[in-house]
Structures are given as C-alpha cells and as structure tokens.
C-alpha cells in the first residue's frame, strides 16, 4: 500500500467572481455597449459585452465588470439549432463550444 500523502491543494490565486445583483443592473447602463449594434446578433453581442467587461475591469469598476461578464456569458449560450450540436445547449467562446449538461 502506498503511504505517500496526497499533494497539498494550493488555492487559486484569483478569487471567484462575485454574484451580480439586481442593484448592480440598476447601477449600470447595460444597454450602452449594444446600443449602436444594427442587428440583434448573439455573437456580436457576446463580443461587445466581452469588450465592455474588459474595459470595466481596466477601470476597476467591479459592478459594471460583473454585469457585462454575466451578459457576455449569457450571449455565449447558443441553442442547438444555432450551434449545430446534437446534445442540447452549448457555450461558445473564442470559436470553441462546450456542452452544457
């Protein structure tokens, strides 16, 4: 029997993203990034919210960062008919798909 102790688990250096509340949505103009879009295209909205999230992160605006991160994530979820996947919903990011169970 192996008597070697398991390796110590090192906690991640980054903290988990905080939850986004209704108050956060009230405080952020979440339509501002997509206001200039000509089409309601989910990929374009995903990309636009990702950029807004990065800008909010650089500005150290945690409230806007959380709202835009959540909206980018939601826009990255595509139904099977869009993603052409057989197994239900998938999350698309950076040209890659991941099944959502």
Task: State the average pLDDT for the chain.
Answer: 77
- Residue ranges of domains in the chain: 39-99
> Each residue of 6-47: pLDDT tens digit?
566 555 566 677 789 999 999 999 999 999 998 888 889 999
Q: What is the pTM of this model?
A: 0.67
Structure confidence at residue 101 as a pLDDT band (50, 70, 90)? very low
pLDDT value of position 27 = 96
Pairwise CA distance, residues 22 & 76, whole Å: 21
pLDDT at residue 63 in the model: 93
């Amino acid at each position: 029997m192996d008597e070697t102790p398991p390796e110590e688990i090192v906690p991640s250096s980054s903290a988990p993203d905080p939850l986004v509340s209704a108050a956060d949505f009230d405080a952020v103009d979440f339509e501002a990034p997509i206001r200039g879009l000509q089409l309601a295209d989910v990929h374009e909205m995903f990309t636009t919210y990702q950029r807004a999230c990065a800008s909010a992160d650089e500005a150290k605006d945690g409230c806007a960062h959380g709202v835009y991160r959540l909206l980018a994530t939601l826009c990255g979820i595509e139904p099977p008919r869009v993603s052409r996947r057989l197994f239900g919903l998938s999350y698309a990011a950076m040209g890659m798909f991941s099944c959502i169970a």
